């Protein structure tokens, strides 16, 4: 009796207002919601806040297209021999975007605070790092007399978590193969959850192994099915990183970006949508 | 000219030598050399240890060795997936035995900068950022880093920014292996084609070198294991590690 | 190259010293490590601390046999029309055991603090309840100016987490079907993890769906294979609650307890071990 | 003598009537009547809602109705498993719409005692304990409880122990339905074979009864749904709910 949550990518993306904060799933070149990210660019979104422990291609192309106001991230790189994310790097160095630099685990702690419904979350480590002072993180003494003090991270509640999944049910249940990166905590901390999936699997398939479901349907607001949507990154076990495509993306030039966007699977498929 | 022990092999092999029996050892993103070191240790050493990685793998049997050290192939053959929240928690609760962490600059205390060259607020170069470091360096039982360039720019007296403190148990470069002793990095060994004088000249922080000497050359099994991981030398070429910057001129 | 962790139940149980704190998996009559609990009684363990959000049969029979010094629990009952846990109730009323009464989620918060490596964990709710004062739980103001204050629960680190699982690999990887109750956080918070499993599945089976593994082998110290070990409770999908056996357990008398222990599957199988 | 609307059906049906379209509704351990209410709502009402339960089920299709409200059969047919940490977090972050919570005593503010009869430290009866209550009652959008006995011992002026505060949105007994109004429980309706006077006489706390009247009898679909869940009347017999204690004498 549940209604299908599956809608076109363009419609899903149009739910994101300018100025929204987006937690993006995956890590570096792996299982990121990259078709969605490119659609943000096509729709001319502005002033976005990007929240991700290890963004790379996604934050880079969004900076390149001028969509970003601010990012909260732990480590940013293209990886796979490509080194730094060049357009992100330039955006930070020229102060075109604001950076809140995290340890990956401190960003997770902020998301946990949101998921757990508490204003702050203790985070192990961080002692001696200059990051707490940079970010104004407070240290709280253990009130139970152990003599320990721990940094607490303020709650981070993204407007949206956006996840690229392997499989969804028509009702919006979400399955991921291999590591879930930080997708699970993102889906529990954000106000709304959007999912881009490689393919639909039947409700019966989900019911036969419900333990495999990472996000239950009732936490999901909308789903778009975009085969190869994590291109030029990988989506295990369906496809690997398209390294030549990443290399072709890197050179300067509006034409390069345009050609890259046009070569993307969701653009190639658009005629069929 | 080709060194008898390539600086690439020097780094990977010496990273692998930090792995100990029955421990839990972790490699993360942007960490091709530690990934190779962990896989080398599995192939070259007789003892058991648990290798976990950022792709969720737990003692994986990857069908190929990926360019990206976070590639999902690194979970292939795993009997479980240990994902990011899990391995960070393992570390902060004190159960991560050995953790490989990246660094752009290292100081004499084994602290690291991975954030910026120049002032953080007005960077000359915005670096990737700390990733695991600020949380894992102070909480892992041992952490080890590596640099493919050993110079006074990378082995510094004072960091441009203090991304992670707590102190490395080991640092491996193309010419040297440092270990922690009395709270500071101390030289343990140098590349057989380098020397104590060269290491001192290319290191901006002062260090103790008592007992240091040329590193033990790779064993046959270490050489074979690395060759099996990189049969065509692709990883070695991509890494582009040189013993000395002059060697390229 | 990994060594098998599978040992007999008696040997596994003998690792538990008198006075140990034990986090027991499952909930009420479902998938609890009940063969292990009975073996604790047979081995005459004393002064145990039992940590479980919703114990029932387990805490009741341990109280009945005089093994318990203290419990930390959220809700205690036999469930399934049997109502209160009678021997537990008597032990508390006669002050034979010490009770630290939790909300289930506050106990989870204490376990999370341990799993996360921090001295305390904020827990939502609890406002107005008399439990915080009873337990001396402190309220901490949000240092980030939201005006919120939240109760923080001190770290709870059990000496052992003991889980009844559906399947294990020979190396000690653990699979559970249906809900994992609180087993996951227990396995991450305790100093050591002991597992009792219905059966062994091959390493290949685990490798084919690694996402299903609840606890990876390297967190597990020892495993005993005890078919029907969750009796008289259920272990989905293998068997349901044996209500007549629970009913037969309830009457007073040392002979009743002895007959119950003798009727248990692990006792019946002992000759074959 | 048998009531035209059995008190068992009165409780289950009126609990079900708290369920609203498109919401997330939860039933927990020791909660047979709310479990039946949620399943009744799925069968009797045309709107969609998400039913999650302590067995990890999410809109399950159980092949049988279990005696234990935490039985794993309540996850049968679910497309996902939403386990304990998850549903508690859902509640504390404010996304649990309707939560059924047990109670031994309820006061006029809708606060509950599930801990002890008599002083906590010297209990006459040690009760099960709060379970979800202390965390869920103040954080769920709405919480509802039920008592199979409506008496001045259960509907009290002052709780023996304050296990959970925050206030119930609804309380259902064999003879009455209370809802929250201006911070206190107010009578919404009574069993058609009871009366305002009887409810007042059997309730130790004072309450507003403005607008209250006899409850709407069960619809045909509500009756049919409950009959389909309990075709042999086993649940009704096991629950042993009576309209009045005298009825048994």
Burial class for A204, CB neighbours closer than 10 Å (0-12, 13-18, 19+): exposed
Q: Does D139 touch chain A (CB under 8 A)?
A: yes
- CA C117 remoteness from chain centre: 21
Q: Which residue has the tokens 């401190």?
A: A106
pLDDT in tens, A69-94: 999 999 999 987 888 999 999 999 99
Mean pLDDT of chain A: 96
Please report how the helices A34-42 and A57-64 are oriented relative to each other, as an axis angle in degrees rounded to 10. 10
pLDDT in tens, C225-261: 999 999 999 999 999 999 999 999 999 999 999 999 9
Judged by CB atoms closer than 8 Å, whether chains meet at C120 and A142 is answered as: yes
- Chains D and B are touching, with contact defined as 3 or more CB–CB pairs separated by less than 8 Å: no
Query: Residue C121: which of A117, A119, A122 has the nearest Cβ?
Result: A122
Please tell me the predicted confidence (pLDDT) of residue A189: 98
Query: The tokens of A127 are what?
Result: 């002692």
Residues 44-73 of B with CB under 8 A from A: 54-56, 67-73
Tallying the residues shown for chain D, one arrives at: 249
Neighbours of chain B (3+ CB pairs under 8 A): A, C
Please tell me the predicted confidence (pLDDT) of residue D131: 83
Answer whether B154's CB lies under 8 Å from B105's CB. Answer: yes
pLDDT in tens, D179-232: 999 999 999 999 999 999 999 999 999 999 999 999 999 999 999 999 999 999
CA atoms within 13 A on the CB side of A17: 5
What span, in angstroms and rounded, lies between the C-alpha atoms of A107 and A101? Answer: 9
pLDDT in tens, D147-169: 999 999 999 999 999 999 998 99
Mean pLDDT of chain B: 95
Query: The tokens of C192 are what?
Result: 């050591």
Nearest residue of A to residue C120 by CA position? A142
Backbone angles phi, psi at C121, to 5 degrees: -135, 125
C interface mutation test: which of A122, A123, A145 has the most C CBs within 10 A?
A122
The whole-number average pLDDT for the span B199-219 is 98
Answer whether D188's CB lies under 8 Å from D161's CB. Answer: no
Judged by CB atoms closer than 8 Å, whether chains meet at C120 and A177 is answered as: no
Burial class for A100, CB neighbours closer than 10 Å (0-12, 13-18, 19+): middle
pLDDT in tens, A124-162: 999 999 999 999 999 999 999 999 999 999 999 999 999
What span, in angstroms and rounded, lies between the C-alpha atoms of A256 and D27? Answer: 55
What span, in angstroms and rounded, lies between the C-alpha atoms of C11 and D217? Answer: 61
Please tell me the predicted confidence (pLDDT) of residue C209: 98
Please tell me the predicted confidence (pLDDT) of residue D3: 58
pLDDT in tens, A156-191: 999 999 999 999 999 999 999 999 999 999 999 999
The whole-number average pLDDT for the span D87-111 is 97
Nearest CA-CA partner of D81 in D61, D102, D108, D53:
D53
Q: For residue D71, give the DSSP letter.
A: -
End-to-end CA distance of chain B: 12
Torsion B116-B118-B119-B123 (CA) sign? negative
Backbone angles phi, psi at A62, to 5 degrees: -70, -35
How would residue C81 be classed by pLDDT, with cut points 50, 70 and 90?
Answer: confident
Please tell me the predicted confidence (pLDDT) of residue D246: 63
Dihedral angle over CA of A168, A173, A179, A185, nearest 10: 140
Nearest residue of B to residue C3 by CA position? B48
Neighbours of chain A (3+ CB pairs under 8 A): B, C, D
Q: Does B148 touch chain A (CB under 8 A)?
A: no
How would residue A2 be classed by pLDDT, with cut points 50, 70 and 90?
Answer: low
**Could you tell me which residues of chain C have a Cβ less than 8 Å from any Cβ in chain B?**
1-3, 114-118, 169, 171, 173, 188, 203, 206-207, 210-211, 213, 215-218
The whole-number average pLDDT for the span B26-53 is 97
What span, in angstroms and rounded, lies between the C-alpha atoms of B126 and A59? Answer: 14
B interface mutation test: which of C210, C215, C223 has the most B CBs within 10 A?
C210
Tallying the residues shown for chain B, one arrives at: 249
Q: What angle do CA C233, D61, D140 make, to 5 degrees?
A: 80
SS3 call for B173: coil
What span, in angstroms and rounded, lies between the C-alpha atoms of D79 and D58? Answer: 7
Q: Which residue has the tokens 């604790």?
A: C40
Backbone angles phi, psi at D90, to 5 degrees: -55, -40
pLDDT at D1 over 70: no
Q: Does D75 touch chain A (CB under 8 A)?
A: yes
Nearest CA-CA partner of C246 in C61, C88, C54:
C61
DSSP secondary structure string for all residues of chain A: -PPP-B--HHHHHTTS-TT-EEEE-SBTTBS--HHHHHHHHHTT--SEEEEESS--HHHHHHHHTT-EEEEEES-----TT--S-HHHHHHHHTTSSEEEE-BHHHHHHHHHHHHHT-SEEEES--TT-SHHHHHTPEEEE-TTSS--EEEEEE----SEEEEEEEEE-TT--EE--S--TTHHHHHHHSSEEEEEEEEE--HHHHHH-GGGEEE-GGG--EEEE-TTTTTTSBBTTTB---HHHHHHH-SS-HHHHHHHHHHSHHHHTGGG-
Q: Does A114 touch chain C (CB under 8 A)?
A: no
Mean pLDDT of chain C: 96
Burial class for A2, CB neighbours closer than 10 Å (0-12, 13-18, 19+): middle
pLDDT at B114 over 70: yes
H helix runs in C80-136, sequence order: 86-93, 104-116, 131-135
In chain A, the percentage of residues whose pLDDT exceeds 90 is 95
Q: What angle do CA B132, C193, C137 make, to 5 degrees?
A: 70
Looking at the DSSP bridge assignments, the partners of residue A70 are: A49, A98
What span, in angstroms and rounded, lies between the C-alpha atoms of A25 and A14? Answer: 19
What span, in angstroms and rounded, lies between the C-alpha atoms of A37 and B144? Answer: 35
Please tell me the predicted confidence (pLDDT) of residue B249: 39
What span, in angstroms and rounded, lies between the C-alpha atoms of A140 and A122? Answer: 8
Please tell me the predicted confidence (pLDDT) of residue A123: 98
What span, in angstroms and rounded, lies between the C-alpha atoms of A55 and A53? Answer: 6
Please report how the helices C34-42 and C57-64 are oriented relative to each other, as an axis angle in degrees rounded to 10. 10
How would residue B2 be classed by pLDDT, with cut points 50, 70 and 90?
Answer: low
- Confirm whether the ipTM is greater than 0.90: yes
* pTM recorded for the entire structure: 0.97
Please tell me the predicted confidence (pLDDT) of residue C272: 56
Of residues B3 and D70, more confidently modeled: D70
What span, in angstroms and rounded, lies between the C-alpha atoms of A82 and A93? Answer: 19
Query: Residue A124: which of C118, C122, C138 has the nearest Cβ?
Result: C118
How would residue D4 be classed by pLDDT, with cut points 50, 70 and 90?
Answer: confident
Backbone angles phi, psi at D9, to 5 degrees: -65, -35
- CA D80 remoteness from chain centre: 25
H helix runs in chain B, sequence order: 7-16, 32-44, 84-92, 133-136, 196-201, 220-229, 234-239
The alpha-carbon radius of gyration of chain C (Å, integer) is 19
Judged by CB atoms closer than 8 Å, whether chains meet at D73 and C28 is answered as: no
The reply to whether omega before A31 is within 30° of 0 (cis) is no
DSSP secondary structure string for all residues of B20-61: -TT-EEEE-TT-HHHHHHHHHHHHH-SS--EEEETTS-BS--
The reply to whether omega before C232 is within 30° of 0 (cis) is yes
Q: Does C122 touch chain A (CB under 8 A)?
A: yes
What span, in angstroms and rounded, lies between the C-alpha atoms of C125 and C102? Answer: 12
Q: Does A150 touch chain C (CB under 8 A)?
A: yes
For chains B and C, count residue pairs whose Cβ atoms are closer than 8 Å. 56
Q: For residue D47, give the DSSP letter.
A: S
Judged by CB atoms closer than 8 Å, whether chains meet at C207 and B77 is answered as: yes
> Helix count (H) and strand count (E) of chain B?
7, 12
What span, in angstroms and rounded, lies between the C-alpha atoms of A32 and A35? Answer: 9
pLDDT in tens, A27-56: 999 999 999 999 999 999 999 999 999 999
How would residue C82 be classed by pLDDT, with cut points 50, 70 and 90?
Answer: confident
Please tell me the predicted confidence (pLDDT) of residue A35: 98
Q: For residue C271, give the DSSP letter.
A: G
Torsion D161-D163-D165-D170 (CA) sign? negative
Nearest residue of B to residue C204 by CA position? B79
Please tell me the predicted confidence (pLDDT) of residue D130: 82
What span, in angstroms and rounded, lies between the C-alpha atoms of C55 and C48? Answer: 14
Please report how the helices A57-64 and A86-93 are oriented relative to each other, as an axis angle in degrees rounded to 10. 60
pLDDT at A107 over 90: yes
What span, in angstroms and rounded, lies between the C-alpha atoms of B53 and B55? Answer: 5
pLDDT at C220 over 90: yes
What span, in angstroms and rounded, lies between the C-alpha atoms of C32 and C229? Answer: 8
pLDDT at A271 over 80: no
Q: How far is D127 from chain C (nearest CA, A)?
A: 7
């Amino acid at each position: 009796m549940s209604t299908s949550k599956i809608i076109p990518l363009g419609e899903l993306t149009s739910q994101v207002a300018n100025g929204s904060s987006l937690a993006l799933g995956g890590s570096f070149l792996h299982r990121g919601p990259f078709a969605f990210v490119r659609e943000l660019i096509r729709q001319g979104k502005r002033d976005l806040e990007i929240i991700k422990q290890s963004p790379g291609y996604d934050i880079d192309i969004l900076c390149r297209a001028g969509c970003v106001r601010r990012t909260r991230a732990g480590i940013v790189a293209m990886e796979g021999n490509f080194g730094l994310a060049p357009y992100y790097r330039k955006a930070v160095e020229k102060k075109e975007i604001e950076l809140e630099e995290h340890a990956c685990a401190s960003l997770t702690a902020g998301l946990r605070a949101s998921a757990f419904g508490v204003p702050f979350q203790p985070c192990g480590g961080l002692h001696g790092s200059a990051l707490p002072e940079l970010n104004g993180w407070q240290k709280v003494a253990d009130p139970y007399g152990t003599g320990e003090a721990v940094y607490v991270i303020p709650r981070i509640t993204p407007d949206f978590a956006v996840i690229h999944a392997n499989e969804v049910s028509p009702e919006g249940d979400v399955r991921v193969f291999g590591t879930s990166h930080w997708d699970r905590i993102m889906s529990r901390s954000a106000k709304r959850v959007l999912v881009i999936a490689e393919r639909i699997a039947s409700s019966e398939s989900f019911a036969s192994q419900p333990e495999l479901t990472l996000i239950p349907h009732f936490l999901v607001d909308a789903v778009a099915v975009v085969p190869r949507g994590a291109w030029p990154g990988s989506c295990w076990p369906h496809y690997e990183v398209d390294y030549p495509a990443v290399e072709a993306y890197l050179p300067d030039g509006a034409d390069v970006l345009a050609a890259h966007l046009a070569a993307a699977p969701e653009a190639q498929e658009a005629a069929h949508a | 000219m080709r060194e008898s022990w390539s600086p690439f092999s020097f780094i990977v092999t010496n990273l692998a030598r930090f792995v100990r029996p029955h421990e839990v050892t972790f490699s993360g993103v942007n960490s091709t050399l530690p990934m190779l070191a962990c896989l080398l240790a599995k192939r070259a050493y007789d003892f058991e240890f648990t290798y976990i990685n950022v792709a969720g793998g737990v003692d994986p049997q990857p069908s190929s060795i990926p360019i990206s050290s976070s590639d999902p192939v690194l979970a292939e053959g795993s009997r479980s997936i240990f994902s990011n929240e899990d391995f960070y928690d393992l570390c902060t609760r004190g159960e991560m035995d050995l953790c490989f962490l990246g660094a752009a600059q290292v100081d004499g205390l084994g602290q690291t900068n991975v954030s910026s060259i120049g002032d953080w607020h007005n960077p000359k170069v915005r670096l990737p950022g700390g990733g695991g470091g600020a949380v894992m360096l102070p909480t892992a039982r041992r952490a080890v880093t590596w640099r493919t360039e050993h110079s006074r720019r990378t082995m510094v007296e004072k960091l441009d920014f203090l991304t992670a403190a707590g102190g490395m148990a080991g640092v491996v470069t193309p010419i040297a292996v440092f270990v922690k002793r009395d709270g500071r990095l101390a030289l343990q060994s140098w590349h057989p084609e380098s020397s104590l004088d060269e290491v001192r000249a290319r290191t901006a922080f002062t260090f103790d070198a008592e007992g240091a000497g040329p590193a033990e050359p790779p064993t046959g099994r270490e050489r074979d294991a690395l060759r099996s991981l990189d049969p065509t030398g692709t990883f070695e070429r991509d890494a582009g590690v040189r013993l000395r910057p002059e060697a390229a001129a």
